[in-house]
Amino acid sequence: MASTDGLPRMVTGSITGTGASLMVSLGFVPSRVDVFNIATAGRLEWMDTMPSASAIKTVTAGTQTYITSNGITPVETSTSGQGFLIGADAVNGSGNTLVYFAVGN
């Protein structure tokens, strides 16, 4: 969903990983999300041209893999609001600091 004023949105932030699915509320639905695990240097990248729950995953060694589950899912519901869900991938390590960059409009 586009913002009511049509202006692009960009948010950076941090959250603590849980090892389970984790909701990040933004107030808009993102079209691109990057999530970085500071402790492991793991990374998930997602764009709105990709299916929900997918991502390009980069691990510490630099290897990239396209994952089709436990990645990033855009969210827009009456109960959860607008934002994105980080799946239960190893990048979402319990107790690890995750930093994110999200863009949408």
What are the pLDDT digits (tens) for 42-87? 999 999 999 999 999 999 888 999 999 999 999 998 877 899 999 9
The CA radius of gyration of the chain, in Å to the nearest whole number, is 13
Q: Cα–Cα distances in Å, from 34 out to 45, 56, 58, 61, 78?
A: 5, 10, 11, 18, 24
Query: What's residue 4's pLDDT?
Result: 59
72 lies in some domain: yes
* Contact indicator for 32, 46 with CB cutoff of 8 Å: yes
29 lies in some domain: yes
Query: What's residue 79's pLDDT?
Result: 78
6 lies in some domain: no
86 lies in some domain: yes
49 lies in some domain: yes
5 lies in some domain: no
47 lies in some domain: yes
1 lies in some domain: no
When divided into structural domains, the chain yields a total of: 1
